[in-house]
Amino acid sequence: MATYLRKVEKGRWHPREEYSDLEEGDIPADPLGDLQTSRNRLSVWRIENDEGDEEENRSNLNRIATAIAATRSKPDDIHYILISSDTLKELDIRVETSTGSTPDGEANRRWHCDLLGLSARKLLKMANALFGQVYPEMIAKEKIEEYLRAGLESKQLKQKSLQLGMLVKLGIVEPRTCPNCGMKIEF
Amino acid sequence: MAAKGAEVEYSARLGTHPGILLTLPNQEDPVESFPGLYATNTVVIVTSGPMEGYITVPRSGYQIWPSGISSRGEYIGGSFLGSHEYAIKSYKEIVFDPESLQFFEAQEPNERAVLSLESSLRRQPELIRRIEDLFAAGEGEIFEAGEESEFSKGLVEVVKQYGAEAVKVVDNLILGNRTHPTVAAEALCVLGDLDDTATYESRSLLLTKSVGSKSSRIREGAILGLCHTNDYRSITALKGAYASEPYAFLREYIEQVLQILEEHVREET
């Protein structure tokens, strides 16, 4: 069974008990913020799950998390939810491979996908199905920094595609200095 | 005032000089003398020296963590979640009952706890207003991991400018439940990530206290913030938080943070 990763923000997929003003059967609006579509498509990443070999499970998870992290302006925790293909099938949502736009070209080609044909109703149905069933998982910033450095070293990440602020925070490049006053420029 | 502090019985281990305990009136009635300190959940502990560790209020299970230590080690302001029935009737009245309180992790007996509350606890109203405004504006922001927000920039700036005093005001806002949990969680992450030696202790204490919050979003922010501080002393608090954490996903976060902190300890040794 395939699994798809969707990056989310912390605090948005907390359990129902956290919302005192929620009516029976309703879900909070915040998770919808993590399901923002473009041209009725939702960007997700296919996670490798080889059921025959436990070791292989989620074998590309860290790489995908690193690719996503590499699009940011500074290292930070990555939060994500995992959506099973069964859930998508039940919701009649199709998946199509597409090219991602992170600094990891191989990850973009191999694992990036779009969920297709999403209408407002379908999206809400999906949020309903996911809320309370999936919970966010996290890779801490400290690990992400390690993966980013390794990714740059192995050239799996294209350095020129990373933001300057990120490279400075990782200690890969020196902060720029103002030619007039000599102050270091903040990012 | 001081004599009562000396009467307190406690189990002594770490830290020094637990002192006189005061609480302020109810939350609807902010005390003008101590702007920023609202009462229901706020306890003020006056000490004659620095103090580490925490105080519990028996029968309630509440822990009162010191959250602001003056440069002279004169006082500690603490907060706890819960009713104030254990404490005071008036902020000027010392009402702690030696039998109802236990001081833990205190190293030496409190010999004397004398202080001028007014001078040491008076906050700068403009600082309080600035931080309250910052948090209020933060409620209108959408926070995105890996990106600076106006809120995070403002918070870093004010903490760097005012030091532990600013952290104390943030402490009161968060632990007094006077801000939205999402903003509180963001603040805790930002404070954990801040590179500022001068406020390291006060930030660490706030984060440690916040892992016991009733709000899962605040607990999440505190767990992530503690990871960023790289403070191995928080391992004990995190293990405690793990034991009482009702949500599996947050227990998994704690496990990961513990692993990172323990790796850090191993590398150091």
* Residue ranges of domains in chain A: 3-158
Residue in B closest to A137 by C-alpha: B249
In chain B, alpha helices (H): 2-7, 117-121, 125-138, 150-162, 164-175, 181-193, 200-210, 216-229, 234-244, 248-268
The predicted pLDDT at position A182 comes to 63
> Lowest-confidence range among A14-23, B25-34, B107-116, B136-145?
B107-116
**Does residue A126 contact residue A94 with C-beta atoms inside 8 Å?**
no
DSSP state of A27: -
CB-CB under 8 Å, A18 with B185: no
Task: Provide the domain count of chain B.
Answer: 2
Kindly state whether residues B20 and B108 are assigned to the same domain: yes
CA distance B142 to B183: 10
Residue keyed to tokens 């006056």 = B46
**Does residue B18 contact residue B55 with C-beta atoms inside 8 Å?**
yes
Q: What pLDDT, in 10s, does the model give residues A163-181?
A: 988 999 999 887 776 666 6
CB-CB under 8 Å, A72 with B147: yes
Six-digit token string for B45? 């502990």
Task: Output the domain CATH number for residue B246.
Answer: 1.25.10
DSSP state of B12: B
pLDDT, averaged across chain B: 65
How many CB atoms are located within 10 Å of the residue A181 CB?
Answer: 6
Kindly state whether residues B157 and B243 are assigned to the same domain: yes
Note the pTM of the prediction, 2 decimals: 0.72
Kindly state whether residues B235 and B263 are assigned to the same domain: yes
Kindly state whether residues B15 and B115 are assigned to the same domain: yes
**Does residue A71 contact residue A1 with C-beta atoms inside 8 Å?**
no
Kindly state whether residues B13 and B129 are assigned to the same domain: no
The predicted pLDDT at position A144 comes to 96
Kindly state whether residues B19 and B130 are assigned to the same domain: no
Kindly state whether residues B19 and B94 are assigned to the same domain: yes
B1: helix, coil or strand? coil
ipTM value of the model? 0.88
Q: Provide the β-strand partners of residue A136.
A: none
Q: Is the pLDDT of residue A46 over 80?
A: yes
Q: Is the pLDDT of residue B61 over 60?
A: no
> Lowest-confidence range among A94-98, A173-177, B55-59?
B55-59
Kindly state whether residues B43 and B170 are assigned to the same domain: no
A176: helix, coil or strand? coil
State which of B122, B141, B168 marks the end of a domain: B122
> Burial level of A115, CB count in 10 A (0-12/13-18/19+)?
buried
Query: Could you tell me which residues come within 8 angstroms of residue B82 by beta carbon, excluding any fewer than 6 positions away?
Result: B41, B57, B60, B62
- List chain B residues with CB under 8 Å of A77: 145, 189, 224
DSSP state of A43: E
Kindly state whether residues B213 and B257 are assigned to the same domain: yes
- Could you tell me the residue range of the domain that residue B71 belongs to? 1-122
Between residues B79 and B82, the one the model is more confident about: B79
Q: Is the pLDDT of residue A121 over 90?
A: yes
Kindly state whether residues B106 and B154 are assigned to the same domain: no
DSSP state of B214: S
The most distant pair of C-alpha atoms in chain B lies apart, rounded to whole Å, by 52
CB-CB under 8 Å, A10 with B145: yes
CA distance A14 to B73: 39
Q: Any CB–CB contact under 8 A between B148 and chain A?
A: yes
- Amino acid making up residue B138: G
Query: Could you tell me which residues come within 8 angstroms of residue B100 by beta carbon, excluding any fewer than 6 positions away?
Result: B57, B58, B59, B86
Alpha carbon of B136: minimum distance to chain A alpha carbons (Å): 18
Kindly state whether residues B141 and B175 are assigned to the same domain: yes
Kindly state whether residues B151 and B192 are assigned to the same domain: yes
State which of B96, B122, B148 marks the end of a domain: B122
The predicted pLDDT at position B266 comes to 86
Q: Any CB–CB contact under 8 A between B149 and chain A?
A: no
The predicted pLDDT at position B268 comes to 78
Kindly state the percentage of chain B with pLDDT values over 70. 54
CB-CB under 8 Å, A18 with B215: yes
CA count, 13 A, side-chain hemisphere, A71: 14
